[in-house]
Amino acid sequence: PPSTLRKEELHSPPPPPRGRCLLSSASSSISIAVMPITIVHCWSAPRSRSTALLYSFEARGCDTIALDEPLYRRWLQEKRGTNGIGRPYEEELLGGEAPDDEDAANAFRWEREKKCLNQRVFEAVQTLVDRGETEGGCVFLKQITKFSYLFDFATNFERESAGGDAGRWRRKCLELFADHDVVHRHVLLIRDPVAILSSWTGKSGTVHNNNTHPDEIGITKLMEIYSEVLGASMSGSDTHEPVVIDSDDLAWDPRSTLEGLCDSLGLGYTESMLKWEPGPHDCDGPWAKWWYSDVWESDGWDLDNGIGHSRTQKYRTVPPSLVSCIRMSTPAYDFLSTLTASYRKRAIATPPSGRLYEDPRNENVLVFVGTPSATSRRGKGRIVPREMAAISPFDSSVQGGDATWEGIRVYHGRIFHLKEHLDRLFRSARALGFENTHSREEVKDAIFRVLAANGMRDGAHMRLTLTRGQKCTSSMNPLFNCYG
């Protein structure tokens, strides 16, 4: 059988909720064969290779059913006409009827979208139960971040609405799930915002009218979803922490990335996930021909170079209208990327001890980064996690190695020769001609703050670095150090 719902299954009413019953003739007792089923909600912004990942899971075979954006129709129903949101196919999608020029064989795609997410999940789980996949099954839902307000992360169902039937189908799901081991997992599929947005006004621009409103793009929504899922996992519900993967890792090393993803989800990996048939797929939403032309040309992940079809690398200009969205989106991407397996495995060498962190306190060490005070403003210093500690590429230390530093040690709650270290630091700064440096009190305050935040009172070594400051350009002339 195909890995998505068969057309006859889509059009027929769903069977009543039940488990798979086994009758024992010796005891005349009836027992329920509990089937483990994993429902995967994969959240991403558009242009994140989410359709390719949808096809990967569809290609697992008859133990998996793939659903394509089951909240799309309701989102468009509520959002069209606001913030410039519209689609060339919106009337047909909302009406659930194929356009006049649509192939009759595709009519089921438009009709299918009338169903709420909860109904489609119910039908998918029931189909897996009826197929008798005793080793378990998977329902994979491709979800777009801008639809997330329609989803209740506390219950893992579509939110009820006036006049809708989400509530009725939620109750039917709960009746069905009671007979089986059903678990919901959430995946955040991230991608560099510049890569997403530089392609935003390309071929697909005619579909979304080149609309750059955050409600349309939805990258920042990933942080909200992460917070929702993490909160649900901490509240004692059955929800697990979200799994975060970078779509560039999928393109660069699809086999290892898919193996790691399946392992994190408690699913078995299969080599079939690397390949799929070119062209339209049964799981596609009716909007596919407007959006999926690139992935339709592919036949799977290329084990050497991303998605498997011949294409040249595209170098795109980022429209100025999207720069503000990049500014908003980058912090979310930077944080979420630190939760990926590729980030955790980024080390390319191991210290002589064989341990990446000889002192375990260093793995989550907090770092102080700050600029000095001036007559017109206060100093701006803050403590941040090590993976988020950064200075500008325009800083003098980066541009020309223009900095001075001290190595300071802490023993038994006391800083060893702090006065002497600071004396030497400021002598070096004067010798280099630094201007607008931190005051001695500011440096001492930063030292005490970061030591206290880390709880380090003994056996600690601190690298204290003072740079000439941030430039407004890459010129080596110190007169361009405008920011201190």
Between CA 421 and CA 101 the distance in angstroms is: 79
Model pLDDT, residue 9: 40
Rounded to a whole number of angstroms, the CA Rg of the chain reads 28
How many CB atoms lie under 10 A from the CB of residue 89?
Answer: 17
Give tens-digit pLDDT for 218-254.
889 999 999 999 998 888 766 789 999 999 999 999 9
Q: Residue ranges of the chain with pLDDT lower than 50?
A: 1-30, 310
Q: Which residue type is seen at 265?
A: L
Give dist(CA 209, CA 85) in Å, integer. Answer: 8
Predicted confidence at residue 5, as pLDDT, reads: 41
Q: CA-to-CA distance for 14 and 462, rounded, in angstroms?
A: 65
The pLDDT tens digits for 191-214 are 999 988 888 777 777 788 888 777
Task: Determine the pLDDT at residue 67.
Answer: 98
Assign 450 to helix, strand or coil. Answer: helix
Residue-level pLDDT at 475: 78
pLDDT score of 307: 57
Other C-beta atoms lying within 10 Å of the C-beta of residue 68: 28
